[in-house]
Structure 1
Amino acid sequence: MNFDLSEEQQLLKNSVERLLADSYGFEKRRTYQTDAKGYSDAMWARYAEIGLLALPFSDHHGGFDGGAAETMIAMEAFGKSLILEPYFATVVLAGGLLRLGGSEAQKADLIPGIAEGRLKLAFAYAEPQSRYDLFDVETQAKKDGGEWILNGTKCLVLHGDTADKIVVSARTSGDTRERNGIGLFIIDADAPGLSRRGYPTQDGLRAAEIILENVRIKNVDVIGDPEGAFPIITRVADEAVAALCAEAVGCFETMQQITLDYLKAREQFGRKIGSFQVLQHRAVDMFVELEQSRSMAMYAAMMAGEDDAIERERAISAAKVQIGRSAKAIGHESIQLHGGIGMTMEYSIGHYFKHVTMLDMLFGDADHHLKRLAGLGGLSNGQVN
């Protein structure tokens, strides 16, 4: 596999990192966080201006025909700066469902609005009982003439409190844990019968609990087959995990750099603490974890578009296992090497640790994916130890 960036990809990387370096320092992030939405509308407009919101979509719908590699570049840069905006929720999750499962009319209607920054979406898939099982769906969708009636509760809907439209997974037939009989429905956030309660997550982002009470949906707002949406959901989930791995690598890189800078500056016993060999060894351990994670994130990005579902799932789960383990290792070392200051709200390293901990849990933690990988027979070229 060739992991070198093309000239266009390098330009993308440079432009995103330059934008965030100029506009997204830690103090500015704290200011953006105080907005009622929990993020900066001005930054969202800047993302649209440089084409980030159009990145993975077809040029036929106003996009740039980018793939998983381009998403990886953007997400890694976002991880370095701990961005608050709903890029993952709108472009990667809900946008991925539209891109892979939406009708031509749905794409033409919605994707230009996403690309231009006018439309924000969220994907409501998790339920109180479902944990990491995307097929565990109790929310019901019943056919009523030319419409559907939805009832149920969705939890931890990322940026669901500020989304303009919400894509909801709901059961149209079968038992709660069947993989068949699941549909995807596009709902206006202000639809009668839909209520949402927004709240901050532990890492400073926003999420919502969404309750559906006899919400009526027209047939034109169903994505694909109302009983066969699960393959689309799993594919988008795999692409989402690849994106999360890249975001985590961006966080890891910044955490390591912040920790190195601290070791070089902090003095104890009349010496820079970075001169102590035992601390140098721990810093090297952080670097090893970072590079292992970077390699696996690249592997996940290369395999995210793989048509063979088994091979794709093996690669994605292996990468998520590595990311989860590295999140703990790098997080623990960065906090411990900073001492007490690492746990304060005023210092950035603790915020990075919170975020990578949340990234580990999204769409399945390391233990979940290790079990999934074992069930798939391990990687083709060897098991993850």
Structure 2
Amino acid sequence: MDFDFSDVQQSLQDSVKRFCEREYPFEKRQALLRTEAGFDRAHWATFAELGWLGAGLAEEVGGFGGGPIENAIILEQLARALVVAPFLSSAVIATQAIARLALPEQRDKLLSPLLDGTSIAALAHGETAQHAFAPDLAAKATKTKAGYRLDGRKVFVLGGQAADVFLVSARDGAGESLFAVPAHTPGVERVNYHAVDGRRVSDLTLRGVEVEASALIGAGGDAADAIDYALDYGVIGLCAEAVGAMDAALWITRDYLKTRKQFGVTLNTFQALQHRMADMLVETELARSMLYRGIAALALENVLERRRGVSAAKAQIGEAGFFVGAQAVQLHGGIGVTEEYIVGHYLKRLALVRGLFGSSDQHLARFAECAAGRNEEEAAGLRDFRPAPGLRRRRTRRR
């Protein structure tokens, strides 16, 4: 299997890396976190100009013909610089849900402003503090003469503060449905706050929110499948962020151990610390391998196999990322926990990744359920198997 990037993918990686080095030093990041918006809209416009906002979408829906590997390349480099922007929530999760579910006329209307950077979207799906990937929806959509009335509550909406439009999941007569709701629609109450890594999230309360019939993007099984796929896509995006943060923390720690002296020698001469660095390297490379496995799983037609591959990646990378981040902080000593030094902020990002969109325990349970379901499918296939005409079962003669 070839894991080398194509020339186009390598060029994309280089462009994101150059942007982060030039436009996003750590000091500027810290200053942006103290602003009301929490990120730079000028940077977002640059993302659009460079084609990053549509890098993971097919050309037929207005994208640049890429897929999850292109999004992973971007997210890994953004995470290395700890960029705080709603890329994952808008350019990955929301766009995938729209591209997979919306009718062509809806798709063009919703995607165009997202891809040109004039609008930002966020999926409002989770309803519990556990941020599980498959919540039991309590939000309701009631049919009215003019369209629909939405009532319910959504928590920890990633990118919610910056969102101009929310993709709200709710239950109606057809089952699970997805609606495009402008953020300033009467009845939408938004409470913004910081996640542990500094990015902005929101809790939404919808009280009698009236929307037109055209706000319905999809209903029934199609909506549930599209949301499930978009969240799987988002989980792999989180895994890419983790790999970027892990790799950056690893090499920053290596450089620190090569310069910090104790007992007259640099710390990297101590064998015990060499072993810990080796463990960090192994976990980082294993995480990268699992990321590629998860990316490949997104292309699988069998839903159980896709979920199993995604959950395997999330369970492994979530724990490995937290391990590498914690080791990096500990090997730095006291400076590792200061706000002024970058390595502690990698741990915060990795701590968020560990629990967002399902914990490692939840994904291990999902992995087991999908594996059991797949085994049942295979067993059913064997039960239904009939030899082709002319074929006879070979008998072994007993001696």
TM normalised by structure 1 equals: 0.94
- Structure 2 residue 64 is matched with structure 1 residue 64: yes
Q: What do the CA deviations read for 1:94-147 (whole angstroms, capped 9, x no partner)?
A: 111101111111111121211111010111111136641524110110111241
Corresponding letter in the other structure for 1:59: E
Report the secondary structure of 1:203's partner residue: coil
- Structure 2 residue 175 is matched with structure 1 residue 181: yes
Change over 3 Å in CA distance of 1:310–1:346 after alignment to 2: same
Report the secondary structure of 2:278's partner residue: helix
Residue 355 of structure 2: aligned partner = 361
Q: What do the CA deviations read for 1:348-371 (whole angstroms, capped 9, x no partner)?
A: 111110111101111111111111
- Whether contact under 8 Å (2:39, 2:84) holds in the other structure is yes
Change over 3 Å in CA distance of 1:380–1:69 after alignment to 2: farther
Could you tell me how far 1:39 is from its partner in structure 2? 0.5
Instruction: Output the CA distance in 1 between the equivalents of 2:129 and 2:14.
Output: 43
Could you tell me how far 1:379 is from its partner in structure 2? 12
Instruction: Output the CA distance in 2 between the equivalents of 1:328 and 1:339.
Output: 17
Residue 82 of structure 1: aligned partner = 82
- Whether contact under 8 Å (1:360, 1:366) holds in the other structure is yes
Residue 345 of structure 2: aligned partner = 351
Find the partner of 1:206 among 200, 214, 221.
200
Corresponding letter in the other structure for 1:318: A
Change over 3 Å in CA distance of 1:69–1:230 after alignment to 2: same
Corresponding letter in the other structure for 2:205: I
Change over 3 Å in CA distance of 1:72–1:351 after alignment to 2: same
Counterparts of 1:1-385 in structure 2, within 5 Å, are 1-128=1-128, 131-173=131-173, 181-225=175-219, 228-377=222-371
Instruction: Output the CA distance in 2 between the equivalents of 1:56 and 1:110.
Output: 16
- Whether contact under 8 Å (1:146, 1:218) holds in the other structure is yes
Q: Which moved more, 1:226-235 or 1:8-17?
A: 226-235
Instruction: Output the CA distance in 1 between the equivalents of 2:67 and 2:133.
Output: 26
Corresponding letter in the other structure for 1:25: P
Q: What do the CA deviations read for 1:54-80 (whole angstroms, capped 9, x no partner)?
A: 212333443202111111111111111
Instruction: Output the CA distance in 1 between the equivalents of 2:133 and 2:54.
Output: 30
- Whether contact under 8 Å (2:58, 2:67) holds in the other structure is no
Instruction: Output the CA distance in 1 between the equivalents of 2:91 and 2:157.
Output: 14
Corresponding letter in the other structure for 2:198: G
Stretches of structure 2 lacking an aligned partner (at least 5 in a row): 376-399
Residue 381 of structure 2: aligned partner = none
- Whether contact under 8 Å (2:175, 2:219) holds in the other structure is no
- Whether contact under 8 Å (1:341, 1:347) holds in the other structure is yes
- Whether contact under 8 Å (1:68, 1:305) holds in the other structure is no
Greater CA radius of gyration, 1 or 2? Answer: 2
Instruction: Output the CA distance in 2 between the equivalents of 1:14 and 1:352.
Output: 21
Q: What do the CA deviations read for 1:321-355 (whole angstroms, capped 9, x no partner)?
A: 11112022102211110111111111111111011
Corresponding letter in the other structure for 1:261: D
Change over 3 Å in CA distance of 1:9–1:380 after alignment to 2: farther
Instruction: Output the CA distance in 2 between the equivalents of 1:137 and 1:62.
Output: 31
- Whether contact under 8 Å (1:61, 1:112) holds in the other structure is no
Report the secondary structure of 1:263's partner residue: helix
Please provide the CA RMSD for this pair.
1.8
Corresponding letter in the other structure for 1:343: V
Report the secondary structure of 2:204's partner residue: strand
Residue 176 of structure 1: aligned partner = none
Corresponding letter in the other structure for 1:358: L
Corresponding letter in the other structure for 2:94: A
Report the secondary structure of 1:376's partner residue: helix
Could you tell me how far 1:28 is from its partner in structure 2? 1.4
Could you tell me how far 1:307 is from its partner in structure 2? 1.5
Instruction: Output the CA distance in 2 between the equivalents of 1:319 and 1:358.
Output: 16
Could you tell me how far 1:378 is from its partner in structure 2? 7.3
Query: Structure 1: which 4+ aligned runs deviate by more than 6 Å?
Result: 378-381
Stretches of structure 1 lacking an aligned partner (at least 5 in a row): 174-179
Matched residue pairs, number? 375
Corresponding letter in the other structure for 1:264: K
Report the secondary structure of 2:371's partner residue: coil
Corresponding letter in the other structure for 1:139: A
Instruction: Output the CA distance in 1 between the equivalents of 2:182 and 2:261.
Output: 56
- Whether contact under 8 Å (1:274, 1:280) holds in the other structure is yes
Report the secondary structure of 2:180's partner residue: strand
TM normalised by structure 2 equals: 0.90
The percentage of aligned residue pairs carrying the same residue is 37
- Whether contact under 8 Å (1:164, 1:188) holds in the other structure is yes
- Whether contact under 8 Å (2:126, 2:135) holds in the other structure is no
Could you tell me how far 1:25 is from its partner in structure 2? 1.5
- Whether contact under 8 Å (1:130, 1:136) holds in the other structure is no
